[in-house]
Amino acid sequence: MATNIKHFFNALYELHHLVQQKHYEEENSFERLPAILKMVFDVELCSIYRFDYTKNHLSLQFSYGHPQSMLDIVNFQLGKGNVRQIARLHRPFFGNLMATASQAILNKKQVNSLAGIPIIINSFLIGVLVCGSYSPNAFTKKELILLDLLGGFIGQLLIKNQWIDSRIKDQIKL
């Protein structure tokens, strides 16, 4: 997908606005996130996970879309599979989940392209943002870099609303 720079800056502005607002419930903070991501990316599913250091486990904070396949449930509701690898390796990931384009056409309600980034603040993993598209080849390295930039704002939103472990917040020294 060719990313329009104007759309990207509009998305940055919207995320900045979200960070500046005070939210009292998690759902209120992230309800506009899918629309913001759609300004820049072809996204049908997205999830934000918070990393729990005490349990060494990802917990779902926000989910958009309705996964239809078991693979999509693993990545977008359970925090396993590719999402767990992103957290474990602290590295972004993008790629096609279907082997061929003909499989992708047959599976229109299954994520064919996935992009995810670790949300890292001051070298601490705070969470993972993962996006999926039903279209094959929906994400490129360029989109992954842009997603990583947007992830910094999402990390600030998680911190501002105190959705991270207080021990880690003290260690991050914000």
Q: What are the phi and psi torsion angles at 23 (to 5°)?
A: -115, 145
The total domain count for the chain is 1
- Domain hosting 102: range is 5-172
Q: Transcribe 98-165 into DSSP letters.
A: SSSHHHHHHTTTS--EEEEEEEEETTEEEEEEEEEESSTT---HHHHHHHHHHHHHHHHHHHHTT-S-
Read off the pLDDT band of 22 (50, 70, 90): low
The answer to whether residue 34 scores a pLDDT higher than 90 is no
Q: 75-133, pLDDT tens digit by residue? A: 888 888 899 999 999 999 998 876 544 554 555 678 889 999 999 888 888 899 999 99
Q: Which residues are CB-contacts of 121 (< 8 A; sequence separation ≥ 6)?
A: 152, 155, 156, 159, 172, 174
CATH number, domain of 29, equals: 3.30.450.40
Is residue 136 a contact partner of residue 92, using CB atoms and an 8 Å limit?
no
Q: Between 167 and 120, where is the model more confident?
A: 120
Residue 114 pLDDT: 93
Residue 90 pLDDT: 93
Q: Indicate yes or no: pTM above 0.85.
A: no
Choice among 19-33, 48-62, 83-97, 140-154 with the minimum mean pLDDT: 19-33
Q: 117-144, pLDDT tens digit by residue? A: 999 888 888 899 999 999 888 888 888 8
Q: Which two tokens stand for residue 101?
A: 């384009």
Nearest to 116 by CA among 49, 19, 32, 39: 49
